[in-house]
């Protein structure tokens, strides 16, 4: 890792705050039962209201400015694309004891669109250091209206106080050497990193030590470039310690085009033995079919670089249908992402015989 020295003196100004972003988002509702598009709190009917609490840490009174952004999503008509002119209106209050008037009034969202609204506060007096209450009043023009809160975020001035002996912040473009005093440390083993470029992290060498919980240093910002800095104790609770790395060994090469199966059972590796019993039962049944068990770890390994992303399962099913050898699965069961690019079955009743009707299954993967 590259090391770089910081200036020992010559600071023309001391920064006392930086602009922090606090983003809050819940994933409760997936409107299309597909993909990664999730939303939080649900508003419904013609009238609804809710009070939600959000935390802001180490609020600085200087400068006296901040802003709040919210994003809402219209939900009615998403599935069937009906022509009803759904309208949703939102008014928003923040800490009613500090801002008795609505900061946002009757913000409108149409049909199934997503829209975000921004409120620039006149002063940080509207905010509290700690818990902040956001009150949202909703109205809709039909009883069948559904709308959702996607996310809430705050941009506010934050002072240079660490949490768990660590602080991450952006500098301002000052055009000069700037001094920083980072407070709140309870440990001495402090390191300063420039992580502006994630693939080229630098250790910034200072001659500083922690004095009365404060770590001070200078930074040359004469190039007017904004930098992202991490100040941390090497023993901060925020640092995840990795004691060992274990190489993942897939049970199956899911990219092997010679694989084939009438039935694919996808499960967690803890349940593979039970899934194999099902495969064996189907193989020895009255109408035998071949089957294969695939665990989710292998799917994540091949289709999402190890990330636990449900979209990887969809992409695996699609890959197996189009690339595996015959026989391959002709249909999939009901899944939350079934219509969005996986195989779906279309069962139709064909001609009758003496023993009864015969069911023919056609398959579509898109």
- Domain residue limits at 354: 263-365
Residues 166 and 145 in one domain: no
Q: Does residue 117 fall inside a structural domain?
A: yes
* pLDDT band with cut points at 50, 70 and 90 for residue 330: low
DSSP assignment of 161-219: B-BTTEEEEEPP--SSEEEEEEB----S-EEEEE-SSTTS-EEEE-----BTTBEEEEE
Phi, psi of 70, rounded to the nearest 5 degrees: -135, 150
**Do 228 and 337 fall into the same domain?**
no
Task: Identify whether residues 124 and 137 lie together within a single domain.
Answer: yes
pLDDT top residue among 275 and 33: 275
Rounded-to-integer distance, Cα 302 and Cα 253, Å: 8
In a domain, 10, yes or no: no
Give yes or no: residues 111 and 148 share one domain.
Answer: yes
pLDDT at 103 exceeding the cut of 50: yes
Report the sign of the C-alpha dihedral through residues 216, 222, 223, 225, in that order. positive
Q: Are residues 135 and 183 in the same domain?
A: no
- Please check whether residues 115 and 94 belong to one and the same domain: yes
- The confidence band for 218, taking pLDDT boundaries of 50, 70 and 90, is very high
Of 233, 251, 275, the position where a domain reaches its end is 233
Give the closest residue to 210 by CA, choosing from 237, 238, 191, 194. Answer: 191
Quickly state the pLDDT bin for 111 (edges 50, 70, 90). Answer: confident
The answer to whether residues 114 and 165 belong to one domain is no
Q: How many CB atoms lie within 10 A of CB 329?
A: 22
Q: Is the dihedral of CA 193, 195, 199, 202 positive or negative?
A: negative
Domain assignment present for 1: no
| DSSP-based three-state secondary structure for 86 | coil
| DSSP notation for 298-351 | HHHHHHSTT---HHHHHHHHHHHHHHSPSS--S-----TTTTTTSEEEEEEEEE
Mean pLDDT of 139-151: 94
Total tally of structural domains belonging to the chain: 3
Per-residue pLDDT at 24: 96
Nearest to 269 by CA among 244, 289, 250: 250
Considering the domain architecture, whether residues 275 and 340 belong to the same structural domain is answered as yes
Q: Is residue 2 part of a domain?
A: no
Residue 318 is assigned to a structural domain of this protein: yes
Query: 183 and 91, same structural domain?
Result: no
Examine the fold and report which residue of 233, 250, 281 is the final residue of a domain before the chain moves on: 233
pLDDT above 70 covers what percent of the chain? 90
Phi, psi of 57 (to 5 degrees): -105, 140
User: Do 164 and 148 reside in the same domain of the chain?
Assistant: no
Residue 319: is it exposed, middle or buried by C-beta count within 10 angstroms (0-12/13-18/19+)? middle
Domain CATH code at residue 183 = 2.60.40.1180
For residues 26 and 146, membership in a common domain is answered with yes
Taking every pair of Cα atoms in the chain, the longest distance, rounded to a whole number of angstroms, is 98
For residue 364, pLDDT over 60 is answered with: no
75-84 pLDDT, tens digit each: 988 877 677 8
Whether 5 is in a domain gets the answer no
Mean pLDDT of all residues belonging to the chain: 86
Per-residue model confidence as pLDDT tens digits over 245-280: 888 899 999 999 999 999 999 999 999 999 999 999
Q: Is the pLDDT of residue 216 over 60?
A: yes
Q: Which residue is listed with tokens 């090469």?
A: 253
**DSSP letter string over 71-83?**
EEEE-TTTTT---
- The CATH number of whichever domain residue 145 belongs to comes to 2.60.120.260
Quick: pLDDT tens for 311-327.
Answer: 899 899 999 999 999 88
Please determine, for residue 205, whether its predicted confidence score (pLDDT) is greater than 90. Answer: yes
Q: Is residue 11 part of a domain?
A: no
pLDDT at position 356 over 60: no
In contact, 60 and 158? CB cutoff 8 Å:
yes
- Whether 27 maps to a domain, the answer reads yes
pLDDT band at 340 (very low <50, low <70, confident <90, very high): very low
Decide which of 132, 158, 184 is a domain's last residue.
Answer: 158
Same structural domain, 27 and 150? yes
Angle at 313 between CA 310 and CA 318, to 5 degrees: 135
């Amino acid at each position: 890792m590259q090391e770089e020295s910081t200036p020992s003196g010559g600071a023309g100004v001391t920064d006392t705050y930086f602009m922090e972003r606090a983003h809050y988002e819940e994933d409760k509702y997936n409107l299309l039962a597909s993909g990664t598009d999730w939303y939080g709190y649900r508003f419904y009917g013609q009238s609804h209201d809710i009070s939600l609490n959000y935390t802001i840490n180490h609020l600085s009174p200087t400068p006296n400015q901040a802003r709040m952004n919210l994003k809402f999503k219209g939900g009615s008509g998403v599935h069937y694309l009906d022509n009803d002119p759904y309208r949703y209106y939102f008014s928003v209050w923040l800490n009613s004891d500090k801002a008795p008037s609505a900061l946002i009034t009757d913000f409108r969202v149409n049909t199934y669109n997503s829209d975000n609204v921004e409120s620039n506060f006149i002063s940080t007096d509207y905010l509290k250091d700690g818990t902040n209450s956001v009150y949202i009043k909703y109205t809709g023009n039909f009883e069948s209206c559904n709308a959702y809160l996607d996310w809430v975020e705050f941009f506010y001035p934050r002072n240079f106080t660490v949490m768990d002996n660590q602080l991450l912040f952006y500098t301002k473009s000052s055009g000069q050497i700037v001094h920083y005093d980072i407070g709140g440390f309870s440990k001495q083993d402090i390191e300063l990193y420039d992580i502006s470029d994630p693939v080229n992290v630098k250790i910034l060498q200072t001659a500083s030590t922690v004095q009365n919980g404060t770590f001070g240093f200078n930074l040359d910002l004469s190039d007017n470039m904004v930098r992202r800095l991490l100040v941390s104790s090497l023993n901060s609770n925020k640092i995840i310690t990795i004691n060992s790395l274990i190489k993942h060994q897939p049970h199956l090469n899911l990219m092997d085009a010679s694989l084939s199966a009438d039935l694919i059972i996808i499960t967690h590796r803890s349940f593979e033995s039970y899934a194999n019993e099902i495969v064996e039962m189907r193989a020895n049944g009255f109408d035998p079919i071949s089957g294969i068990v695939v665990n989710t770890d292998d799917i994540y390994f091949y289709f999402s670089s190890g990330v636990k992303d449900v979209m990887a399962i969809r992409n695996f099913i699609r890959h197996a249908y189009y690339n595996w050898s015959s026989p391959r699965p002709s249909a999939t069961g009901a899944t939350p992402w079934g219509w969005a690019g996986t195989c779906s079955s279309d069962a139709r009743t064909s001609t009758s015989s003496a023993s009864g009707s015969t069911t023919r299954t056609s398959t579509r993967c898109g």
